[in-house]
Amino acid sequence: EAEVAQSPRYKITEKSQAVAFWCDPISGHATLYWYRQILGQGPELLVQFQDESVVDDSQLPKDRFSAERLKGVDSTLKIQPAELGDSAMYLCASSLDRDSYGYTFGSGTRLTVV
Amino acid sequence: GDSVTQMEGPVTLSEEAFLTINCTYTATGYPSLFWYVQYPGEGLQLLLKATKADDKGSNKGFEATYRKETTSFHLEKGSVQVSDSAVYFCALGSGSGNTGKLIFGQGTTLQVKP
């Protein structure tokens, strides 16, 4: 069964450092999502791509977060500088298109900022 | 804006007990509704969905009915097993057009004891 790959699985970083997460969606999935899940809460959308274009980044803290999907395939989410409040699970998901909500989630990257 | 409210957990049940997890929503238009399950250390998996009023989603013994009049989508299972222990998230697809964005509730932890 096809999976959404994410790496690293776990990341510990010091505040003010830079950190990056990588996501490889299911082949052929045009839509890619990054969600942030703070412990004890539901996931919240950070950014949504349709192919290589950003279609929703309204909740992305753009002063420190950036995301790209250069060739419309894999994607990188970066935080610089990291803050203590960024500690969370970062989930990537993909779908064939945005109309069906047919998401497949990856296993996530658990970020701890110390 | 659109939002989802779930009953607070944890919910602790004995094996073979009846399960209900309440979910209500606020949304413009007629959103699609979903239940996702998250097992420890894993990403989210779609459990079931309903796309219009009075639809019943079902999977693995779980059921939920889309009730427009009460804006609810309560999750039920007649007889829970230890293996059902997980965190359950209710979610809605953004109602104003199919943007692909999901809005999640805060999650309800289910613990099933033998």
User: pLDDT tens, B49-76?
Assistant: 999 999 999 999 999 999 999 999 999 9
Residue B81 and residue B69: Cα distance in Å, rounded?
Answer: 32
Pick the closest to residue B29 from B100, B92, B102 (CA basis).
Answer: B92
Band of the pLDDT at A47, cuts 50, 70, 90?
Answer: very high
Structure tokens at A41: 């809460």
3-state secondary structure B54-112: CCEEEECCEEEECECCCCECCEEECCCCHHHCEEEEEEEECCCCCCCCEEECCCEEEEE
The DSSP H or E segment spanning B33 is strand B33-38
The whole-number pLDDT of residue B83 equals: 95
pLDDT beyond 60 at B7: yes
Pick the closest to residue A66 from A76, A74, A56, A58 (CA basis).
Answer: A76
A12-25 average pLDDT score: 97
pLDDT beyond 90 at B9: no
A54-81 average pLDDT score: 95
Cβ separation A105–B32 shorter than 8 A: no
pLDDT beyond 60 at B38: yes
Closest-CA distance, A77 to chain B, in angstroms, reads 17
Pick the closest to residue B87 from A15, A53, A43 (CA basis).
Answer: A43
The whole-number pLDDT of residue B16 equals: 97
Cβ separation B99–A33 shorter than 8 A: no
Structure tokens at A85: 């409040």
Interchain CB contact of A95 with B (< 8 Å): yes
A43-47 average pLDDT score: 96
Mutation site, B23, B37, B44, B106, interface A, largest A CB count within 10 A: B44
Cβ pair B38, B110 in contact under 8 A: no
Neighbours of A2 (CB within 10 A): 11
Structure tokens at A68: 């790209």
The whole-number pLDDT of residue B96 equals: 56
**Cα Rg for chain B, rounded, in angstroms?**
14
The whole-number pLDDT of residue B98 equals: 59
Cβ separation B4–A42 shorter than 8 A: yes
Residue A16 and residue B52: Cα distance in Å, rounded?
Answer: 46
Vertex A96, ends A88 and B64: CA angle to 5°?
70
- The mean pLDDT of chain A is 94
Band of the pLDDT at A93, cuts 50, 70, 90?
Answer: very high
